[in-house]
Structure 1
Amino acid sequence: MRLGGRLQAAIEILDDIETRKRPASDALKDWGLAHRFAGAGDRAVIGNIVYDVLRRKLSIAWRMDSADARDIAYGALLSDAEMSAEGIVAALADDKFAPAPLDADRLAAWESRDLAAAPDHVRADVPEWCAPHLEALFGADWVREGAALAARPPVDLRVNTLKASRAKVLKELARAGAGEAPLLPGAVRVPPLRALGRHPNVQAEPAFQKGWFEVQDLGSQIAARVAAVEPGQQVLDYCAGAGGKTLALAAEMENRGQIHAFDAEKPRLAPIFERLKRAGVRNTQVHANPEDLTPLEAQMDVVLTDAPCTGSGTWRRRPDAKWRLSPQQLERRETEQREVLDAAKRYVKPGGRLVYVTCSLFASENNLQIEAFLRNNADYSEVDARPLWQAAAPAGEATPVFPSHGMVLSPERTSTDGFYISVLQRAG
């Protein structure tokens, strides 16, 4: 496929997402199934255009003075694909599958409008109702923080120290453009895409199949480090999902002690078995039934809860989610978080720690949840987040936000996805 056909496909997919209010991944998958002639390169470029539009939907539409899918898809080529208007015309010339050309008035708007004059939530590329949440956390920097959440993300890898070193992984992935990630000595990063390029499929590398590394955002890796588990301890990864943090905890514990990985949603938990095997993890038991955890009550040195949340910290990777999010969904997540904390605390032994993690940037899901928990659980106190950060991420100068409780990581401040982390200590 030439660029014209790829652009037209992206426009159709964007219309599908908007009309049916469905996840971008589902719309892209269905388009691929219906157009099997499209190769991997075609699907990569189409996906880039779709995700670029979704990340910057408001700012591109404002500059185009149009929210039409065709116009903002062209806008994505002019911005993130780093193409000029003349270059686009040349690339689409004589392509019978190309969409109609960009209207002259749309191009004139693009070239004349200064984004600095746009409303704050447009410059930040966030739903207007979310703006007060970001401003409450970041203060005067909230627009810049929102814009960073609309940038293309890198691919972060966690070196599995049970099997390899960072130097060994970097050597294997040199051709993929991998380099050292900031902050952590065991992290590797493939930089964000440029223009219409595509990320290398690192999971097809022999090194991945051998279990030398896992794909895991740097913020998630830091959350596992902040948990400060030690070899020989008893640990529960509550809400373990596919097991990313479980694997990180196992490496920190050097395969010694015992990790219990639990998630009530069996489909989310299913990938963990193959991941544990590939990584060479031997100290983990997997549980899908809450009844299995009864013997663990008041026995765990550390309980890590990666609570269900709005995912506002992951908008770089799942930008469609920010346009589907509603205040009602936020309220449901807050209720679920309270339930998770109340359930998880029963497994912490006297003197043990409860680690609360979300990939959200909203205070109502983060420090306000901890505030309420401490108010209702007098046998818990919070561990100061600042020395925890310094111990977990000693390899850089980045500084998270420290709200009333815990710490908040973000793309702008720590070059990670958005994460909230708080560590609570139960009285001995």
Structure 2
Amino acid sequence: MYLLYDLILLALTLVLIPYYLVRGAFHGKVRRGIRERLGIYSAGRLAPLQGKRVIWIHAVSVGETRAAIPLIKALRKTWPEAALIISNVTETGQQIARGIGETDLSLYFPYDLSWVVRRVLRRVNPALIVIVETEIWPNFIREARRQAIPIALVNGRISDRSFPRYRALRPLFQPILQDFSAFCMQTALDGERIALMGAPAERIEVTHNLKFDMQAPVPDVASVAALKETYRLPADLPVWVAGSTHPGEEEIVLQVYRDLVSAGVNFVLVLVPRHPERCRALAEDLANRGVPCTLRSAIDGGGEPLRAGEVLLVDTIGELMKFYAVSDLVFVGGSLVSVGGHNILEASLLKKPVIFGPYMHNFKEISRLVLAAQGGIQVADAPALAEAVRRLIEDPVLRQSLGEGGNGLLLENAGATDRTLATLRRLLES
């Protein structure tokens, strides 16, 4: 099975590397991660790890990286002498990872070819590997077991969509899951599902969701005013932030915005696509529609504030929480189209009312809890979105109530980091 997997992955890699090089050249980027994905590191790249016990955290992309931050902070506090490295698959994940001050090194995750991961694991020599959510790389996991490196899945979840496929492929997944040392799952249902996939029941724990342990200070009035001035957002108009949006959603959000402004509801839209490389095409589309648009990268802190009907299009990475901080209401994307949603708790963390669509299958439990706590509004379609936005723009008391409801939910459900850390401590000390 592993030989066949290597051959298939090798064939895919030989196709993907030229694709990434061409795509990088087209977008004006250098694909810096390809060498690292092949396990080739420049001189001194791994120097921060020398002579230290290494803990390797792997988070595939942006959402998983942000979810891991409370755990990374706890690992740094518990083992200050250790070297913490974080790896990602995506470029956007890497950009977020580089901003985490508690880590010593950020790398691209290697291609899961047996000879590549074998070389990488020997060079990095981790004492513990922590995989965030559900990243199952057969060769990497198998080689870690062969080198007697404990490996833990944390914040684990098995979505409604993926579970039938995983269960149907149980004969393939069971031997891979046997190589894990521990499974820290978000819910009891996730624990049951991974057991049905073949994970040893005695290694499964329900530690709950690390996302409830996220921390971010709620900015005071002066800080919000300063951020608004930086972003050229008006001090006297409400700000609607549509974050992590996908194709198909921007059109809905923009139409709702234009219709409401035309109806006399005065506010400003900040649009933050999930993938900022799409902003160039989006800006052209806005120009064709006659919608005044300003790119975040073009703002230098000066100039007149945006007016109702204008759009601030965010083509940068790492500022989403700052935009949430200056918002009056938030829509979280990936939910009006069948993507499965994104983390709505980031808005609740900053006491913001959050709106999201019907497609929340990747955050099913979180969306249920937010609604139960009266921390947000779920909408079915464009007309419902327009009604929710209008209602929140016109009712500041409701905005405050929803923001506090969501924030209270976070406080009530905190503790996943401590429970997960206890498991990791046992693995490191055994």
Instruction: Verify same fold: TM over 0.5.
Output: no
Larger RCO: 1 or 2 (CA < 8 Å, sep 6+) = 1
TM-score (norm 1): 0.30
TM-score (norm 2): 0.30
